[in-house]
């Protein structure tokens, strides 16, 4: 950074906010125990050997241990037939001791992830991706809400970001982040624009945004010059960059990242060019260390909520 404006930039530390959320869940689980109630239980279903998926599942299981939530893992081989997956989900739906069910995505080729997600009992759908839960969100009614946008909202609230009347731009229109995030911001009275790959003159649109949420999965797509001075930037993208030529472009202001790329053959970065954006923004989440950690905390909060609601 190293210029005057950067001194004003607040780094929104995902670890701090995730710890706060996990601490709240832990306290609630302890309060249940004090009342003689069993701990919440999360069942995680993982199919196949995708290394990244196993990393995520380990993170979730560790967060369960940390908060006192009981976790059950169902590890299935990559060639598991759909009918068997359906049967396992049905059994978990019927199990009175299971409060939350999470099917780790992506599923191996040949398995229908929509079918799996729709088979989960909405009351146990801690990912918040079942149509019933998405519909309740659209209606502004209580339900299990998608973890990532829900945890981002929790962070914005804790950070005291005023959302009423602000211009918010959500970049990306997935049902996991973009669309539910837009609905949650709308619920808090932001004026919300949803932009995507077909959007024209995106830089100008971004420059109007008091809050920019980037969730497209394109490394370093959002340049520093696109950020409105003082804006809050939430970077949901987690991308691995290995190409030095791409690195030279998107890490022009970030010699540290470029060094890591050269030394390790790859580096994680968000959808936003962090150093460029941090020089302009009022607050920004880093990658890694930002929204990724919040998502796991969101799963724990949803598991507790599902348990309390039963």
Binding residues, as ranges, are 172-174, 238
Determine the Cα–Cα distance for residues 206 and 178; give it in Å rounded to an integer. Answer: 15
Confirm whether 228 is a catalytic residue. no
According to the binding rule CB under 8 A, does residue 150 interact with a second copy? no
Our finding on whether 136 is near a second copy (CB under 8 A) is yes
For residue 50, the minimal CB distance to a second copy (Å) is: 23
Regarding 195 and contact with a second copy (CB under 8 A), the answer is yes
Of 72, 76, 132, 252, the residue at the interface with a second copy (CB under 8 A) is 132
Of the candidates 186, 246, 252, 268, which one interacts with a second copy according to CB under 8 A? Answer: 186
Q: Is 189 in the site for a second copy (CB under 8 A)?
A: yes
Which residues are CB-contacts of 101 (< 8 A; sequence separation ≥ 6)?
42, 43, 45, 89, 92, 93, 120, 121, 124, 125, 126
User: What DSSP element (H or E) covers 82?
Assistant: helix 82-94
Residues from 21 through 40 that contact a second copy (CB under 8 A): none
Per CB under 8 A, the segment of 18-26, 68-76, 193-201, 221-229 that binds a second copy is 193-201
156 forms part of the interface with a second copy (CB under 8 A)? no
Active-site residue 305, yes or no? no
List the catalytic residue out of 99, 125, 127, 271: 127
9 HSE (CA, 13 A, CB side): 25
Binding segment toward a second copy, per CB under 8 A, in 64-72, 100-108, 130-138, 263-271: 130-138
| Nearest CA among 112, 119, 153, 183 for reference residue 302 | 153
Smallest distance from a second copy to CB 47, Å: 21
Residue 127 bears catalytic tag: yes
Interaction between residue 105 and a second copy (CB under 8 A) = no
Instruction: Provide, rounded to whole angstroms, the least separation between the CB of residue 218 and a second copy.
Output: 17
Q: Label each residue of 105-166 as H, E or C.
A: CCCCCCCCHHHHHHHCCHHHECCCCCHHHHHHHHHCCCCCCCHHHHHHHHHHHHCCCCCCCC
| Partners of 233 in the β-ladder | 212, 284
- Tell the residue number behind the tokens 């990658």, with chain if given: 287
Radius of gyration of the chain (CA): 20
196 near a second copy, rule: CB under 8 A: yes
């Amino acid at each position: 950074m190293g210029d005057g404006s950067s001194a004003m930039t607040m780094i929104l530390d995902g670890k701090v906010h995730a710890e706060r959320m996990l601490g709240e869940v832990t306290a609630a689980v302890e309060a249940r125990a004090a009342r003689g109630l069993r701990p919440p239980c999360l069942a995680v279903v993982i199919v196949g050997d995708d290394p990244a998926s196993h990393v995520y599942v380990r993170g979730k299981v560790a967060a369960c241990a940390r908060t006192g939530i009981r976790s059950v893992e169902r590890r299935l081989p990559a060639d598991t037939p759909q009918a068997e997956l359906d049967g396992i989900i049905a059994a978990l739906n019927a199990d009175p001791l299971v409060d939350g069910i999470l099917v780790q995505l992506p599923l191996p080729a040949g398995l229908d992830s929509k079918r799996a997600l729709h088979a989960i009992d909405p009351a146990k759908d801690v990912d918040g991706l079942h149509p019933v839960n998405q519909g309740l969100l659209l209606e502004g009614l209580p339900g299990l809400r998608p973890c990532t946008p829900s945890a981002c909202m929790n962070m914005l609230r804790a950070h005291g970001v005023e959302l009423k009347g602000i211009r918010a731009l959500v970049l990306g229109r997935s049902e996991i982040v973009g669309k539910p995030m837009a609905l949650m911001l709308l619920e808090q009275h932001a004026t919300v624009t949803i932009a995507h790959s077909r959007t024209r003159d995106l830089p100008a649109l971004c420059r109007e945004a008091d809050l920019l949420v980037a969730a497209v999965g394109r490394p370093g797509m959002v340049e520093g010059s696109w950020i409105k001075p003082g804006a809050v930037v939430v970077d949901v993208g987690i991308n691995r960059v290995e190409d030095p030529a791409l690195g030279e472009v998107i890490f022009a202001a970030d010699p540290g990242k470029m060094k890591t790329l050269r030394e390790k053959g790859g580096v994680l970065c968000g959808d936003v060019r962090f150093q460029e954006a941090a020089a302009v923004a009022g607050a920004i989440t880093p990658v890694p260390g930002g929204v990724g950690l919040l998502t796991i905390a969101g799963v724990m909060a949803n598991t507790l909520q599902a348990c309390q609601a039963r």
